[in-house]
Amino acid sequence: MSTEHAHPTPKMYVRIAGILAVLTAVEVGLFYMEETVGSGLARTLLVALAFVKFVGVIGWYMHLRFESGLLSRFFSAGFFLAMGLYAIVLGSFALAALL
Amino acid sequence: MTDLAHTTEHHDEHESTGIDNRKLGMWVFLSSEFLFFGALISNYLLYGNRDFDTVTPREIYDIPFTSFSSFVLLMSSLTMVLAHDALSRDDQAQTRTWLFATGALGSVFLGGQVFEFYEFITAEGMTLTTNPASSSFFLLTGFHGVHVAMGVLMLFSLFGMSLRQGRLSSRSGLNVEYVGLYWHFVDIIWIVIFTLVYLLSAA
């Protein structure tokens, strides 16, 4: 099973870093403009931007998008397991606080 | 990051999965780290945003300072991937330069974290045991810092190896790949911490 694919060029890596830096700047900007933008929207955008950066680093810098699907499955299994487990934990605490 | 694995390790093809076992192990290890950091982040989400009689972290965050630290760590991911790319082209000098740059940027990030902790403890009087919010903050960011410190140690070890041996061997090439994966993982965890712990918490 071959997993070799064409990888991005250094120029492409620098471009991705630029995008990540801009996204970080937007995040910080949103933090300071929360009242102007609206708390709900600002918070949603902050989470969305973090997710884009998260996926960007995994996909391009960790090269997961160029790797075997098996690695993606192993890696995402841990991520979703953690997300599910702690969603249940936090949900239980929230529920207990309500009751 | 498959180039080196396939060009330098002939026995890859004999693995039943088609992937080098060490590489698969590295990805599984990183995957398991989601559970580790997930526990610490959940702990912070439970206690970090509560009010206590004593000072809590979200009241004293220095967002511009932490934003700069985040930027530094993000750029270290760029230098790391450039180191790996240089090694895949067998450009030993550039590999060495980028490895050193990554270690240096990681050290700057660590220095920033030490400074932040120092300020919180001495100027603000917030310690590990001040309240559950401070405990959860120090535990989470402290363990992340330990991961960064381990990464810096590995980066400078590779840099030292390349200086001592004159060049990084093909076997070291795989090590660069694994250290790179680890380093990027530490970066993505910080992306989550920066948003959930700092920006959303202090907003």
H/E/C letters for each residue in chain B?
CCHHHHHHCHHHHHCCCCCCHHHHHHHHHHHHHHHHHHHHHHHHHHHCCCCCCCCCHHHHCCHHHHHHHHHHHHHHHHHHHHHHHHHHCCCHHHHHHHHHHHHHHHHHHHHHHHHHHHHHHHHCCCCCCCCHHHHHHHHHHHHHHHHHHHHHHHHHHHHHHHHHHCCCCHHHHHHHHHHHHHHHHHHHHHHHHHHHHHHHHHC
pLDDT band at B124 (very low <50, low <70, confident <90, very high): very high
Task: Give the tens place of pLDDT for each residue, B188-201.
Answer: 999 999 999 999 98
Nearest to B77 among A2, A61, A89 (CB): A61
Does the pLDDT of residue B172 top 70, yes or no? no
Distance of alpha carbon B84 from alpha carbon B56, whole angstroms? 41
* ipTM value: 0.90
- Count CB neighbours of B114 within 10 A: 11
Which residues of chain A have a CB within 8 Å of the CB of B63? 28, 31
Does the pLDDT of residue B4 top 70, yes or no? no
Nearest to A50 among B17, B184, B191 (CB): B191
Task: Give the tens place of pLDDT for each residue, A13-62.
Answer: 999 999 999 999 999 999 999 888 888 999 999 999 999 999 999 999 99
Nearest alpha carbon to residue B82 among A56, A12, A58: A12
Mean pLDDT over each residue of chain B, to the nearest integer: 90
Does the pLDDT of residue A4 top 60, yes or no? no
- Chain A nearest CA to B160, separation (Å): 24
**Domain total for chain B?**
1
Sign of CA pseudo-dihedral A31, A33, A39, A45: negative
Domain boundaries, chain A: 1-67, 68-99
Q: What is the average pLDDT across B125-149?
A: 96
Query: How much is the pLDDT for A46?
Result: 96
Query: How much is the pLDDT for B49?
Result: 85
CB B61 within 8 A of CB B202: yes
pLDDT band at B171 (very low <50, low <70, confident <90, very high): low
pLDDT band at B76 (very low <50, low <70, confident <90, very high): very high
Task: Give the tens place of pLDDT for each residue, B100-119.
Answer: 999 999 999 999 999 999 99
Query: How much is the pLDDT for B170?
Result: 61
Nearest alpha carbon to residue B56 among B131, B147, B110: B131
Nearest alpha carbon to residue B45 among B148, B163, B132, B155: B132
Q: Is A22 on the interface with B (CB under 8 A)?
A: no
- Chain A nearest CA to B158, separation (Å): 19
pLDDT band at B202 (very low <50, low <70, confident <90, very high): confident
Distance of alpha carbon B173 from alpha carbon B3, whole angstroms? 10
Percent of chain B with pLDDT over 90: 73
- Count CB neighbours of B50 within 10 A: 12
Could B1 and A62 be called an inter-chain contact, meaning their C-beta atoms sit closer than 8 Å? yes
Nearest to B3 among A7, A78, A79 (CB): A7
Query: How much is the pLDDT for A3?
Result: 44
Nearest alpha carbon to residue B188 among B70, B29, B69: B70
Does the pLDDT of residue B2 top 60, yes or no? no
- For residue B12, the enclosing domain spans 3-202
Which residues of chain A have a CB within 8 Å of the CB of B35? 78, 81-82, 85
Query: How much is the pLDDT for B18?
Result: 78
Q: What is the average pLDDT across B14-27?
A: 82
Structure-token pair, residue B62: 């220095």
Q: Is A74 on the interface with B (CB under 8 A)?
A: yes
Distance of alpha carbon B129 from alpha carbon B200, whole angstroms? 23
Structure-token pair, residue A83: 């997300």
For A49, the 3-state DSSP assignment is helix
Query: How much is the pLDDT for B9?
Result: 47
The CATH number for B71's domain is 1.20.120.80
**Closest alpha carbon within chain B to A15:** B78
**Closest alpha carbon within chain B to A35:** B203
Could B6 and A89 be called an inter-chain contact, meaning their C-beta atoms sit closer than 8 Å? no
Q: Structure pTM?
A: 0.90
Give the number of C-alpha atoms closer than 13 A to the C-alpha of residue A3, restricted to the C-beta side: 26
Q: How far is CA B27 from the centre of its chain?
A: 15
pLDDT band at B173 (very low <50, low <70, confident <90, very high): low
CB B182 within 8 A of CB B154: yes
Query: How much is the pLDDT for B56?
Result: 93
Query: How much is the pLDDT for A89?
Result: 93
